[in-house]
Amino acid sequence: MQTITRDQLLDKAVSLLADGTVTAVLGWSKGEFDYDVTPAVFKTEAELKENFVWNDFCGANFSKYLVAKMDRLEGKMLVFLKPCDTYSFNQLLTEHRFDREKVYAVGIPCEGMVDIAKVKAICGEGISSVDCGGDKLLVTTLYEEQPVEVATAEVLAERCVNCKSKKHVAYDELLGEEGEVIDSNRFDEVEKLEAMTPDERFAFWQNELSRCIRCNACRDACPACTCEKCVFDNPNSGVENKAPANSFEEKMFHIIRAYHVAGRCTDCGECSRVCPQNIPLHLLNRKFIKDMNEFYGEYQAGAEVGSRAPLVDYTTEDLEPGEVFDRRDTNA
């Protein structure tokens, strides 16, 4: 499915290591199964050859790792960035979260990543291997003799189905073809919810959020959540709660989290990808993005470094909070 191959990436990484351009490589590493690829820092050719992977499960957005992983690095870090990752990359630069000089960014094309939950929904549990190639996946499970064939398009992650951009907005070097910003339908789900009655919406979110186990994976994977200390971990903040005591606290956590990243969220979709409970958390972020686009004009966080996010900006003619509903009611 991916137009660029593992070998191409490997060659690039090896040669950059060899010529001293970089001293480490941030890449995807083999996990226990084909689909649990994990981010890792590689320092040698041998490590790379052994463990580096590139397949349809390399969804992890590396931008955030640049904040933490470079402290003690001598020299530069090579990082592979898919188009959506580049937006987070820029956003983090806007927020001065890592040193651009210490990064060598290689933009790579991405044809969309697979959501293993969707594969499981088709093939069941017990998946032992997944062979990515062409536009089909060959899925071997413990319970079936023959590998099952699944069309990749069927099991693409939601964020990839509604991919907002195949264009890289930041890189030092680009492998493969440059793509375009896509006029996607990513707000359709949000619109569907908006069209519901408040009761239906409440029921929807109650159902979704009640599954939350407060594992904080969404926060930990989010490239916009790079606070030194999260308010929810800070005993002095008044809202500290490491584990949810009740349903409200879930809501509070998720509302505040979405609010804190509003205007900074690039809609990379990592929150939903990593959620073990499959809560569509990205819908909260998209609601903010959609609202702010409608209220204050189109804004894509991370499209450029140094841009001013809508919530740290204003015009004297902005709409009133009350008008938000008047607008919606007249549109309906």
> Scanning residues 89 to 108, which ones bind another protein (CB under 8 A)?
94-97
To the nearest whole angstrom, how small is the minimum distance from the Cβ of residue 244 to another protein?
11
- Residue in 32, 71, 177, 180 binding another protein, rule: CB under 8 A: 71
Residue 71 beta carbon to another protein: minimum distance, rounded to whole angstroms: 6
Q: Which lies closer to another protein via its Cβ, residue 2 or residue 88?
A: 88
In whole angstroms, how large is the CA radius of gyration of the chain?
A: 21
Instruction: Quote the CA–CA distance of 96 and 71 in Å, as a whole number.
Output: 14
Q: Does 248 bind another protein (CB under 8 A)?
A: yes
Q: Which of 18, 117, 215, 324 binds another protein (CB under 8 A)?
A: 324
Tell which positions 18-57 bind another protein, by CB under 8 A. none
Helices (H) and strands (E) in the chain, counts: 13, 8
Which of residues 234, 242, 276, 278 is near another protein by CB under 8 A?
Answer: 234
Question: 182 Cβ partners below 8 Å, 6+ apart?
Answer: 163, 164, 165, 166
197 CB-contact burial (10 Å; exposed 0-12 / middle 13-18 / buried 19+)? exposed
Among 11, 36, 200, 220, binds another protein (CB under 8 A): 200
**Interaction between residue 191 and another protein (CB under 8 A):** no
Stretch that binds another protein, among 33-41, 75-83, 161-169, 236-244 (CB under 8 A): 236-244
Contact 42, 27 (CB under 8 A): yes
> What one-character-per-residue DSSP string does 207-254 give?
HHHTT-----HHHHH-TT---SS-GGG-TTSS---SS-SSHHHHHHHH
Contact between 297 and another protein per CB under 8 A: no
Q: List helix spans (H) across the chain.
A: 6-18, 45-51, 65-69, 83-94, 116-123, 158-161, 188-194, 198-209, 217-221, 247-261, 270-274, 282-296, 321-331
Say how many C-beta atoms besides its own lie within 10 A of residue 111's C-beta: 18
Judge whether 279 and 272 are in contact, CB under 8 Å: yes
Nearer to another protein, 66 or 292 (CB): 292
Of residues 7, 199, 297, 332, which one binds another protein by CB under 8 A? Answer: 199
User: Of the ranges 76-84, 121-129, 149-157, 320-328, which one interacts with another protein (CB under 8 A)?
Assistant: 320-328
Question: For residues 52 and 288, which CB has a smaller minimum distance to another protein in the complex?
Answer: 288
Query: Which of 177, 198, 330, 331 forms a contact with another protein (CB under 8 A)?
Result: 198
Residue 228 C-beta: closest distance to another protein, Å: 5
Interaction between residue 194 and another protein (CB under 8 A) = yes
Nearest-angstrom CA–CA distance, 72 and 37: 25
Contact 111, 1 (CB under 8 A): yes
Interface pick for another protein out of 14, 140, 179, 296 (rule CB under 8 A): 296
Among 13, 284, 301, 303, binds another protein (CB under 8 A): 284
Cα separation, 96 vs 94, in Å, equals 5
CA dist., res. 107 & res. 138, Å (int):
28
CA distance 225 to 219: 6
The yes or no reply on residue 204 touching another protein (CB under 8 A) is: yes
**Least distance between another protein and beta carbon 248 (Å):** 4
Residues forming the site for another protein (CB under 8 A) = 71-72, 94-97, 190, 193-194, 198-206, 226-231, 234, 236-239, 245-246, 248-249, 251-252, 255-256, 258-262, 284, 287-288, 291-292, 295-296, 308-316, 318-325
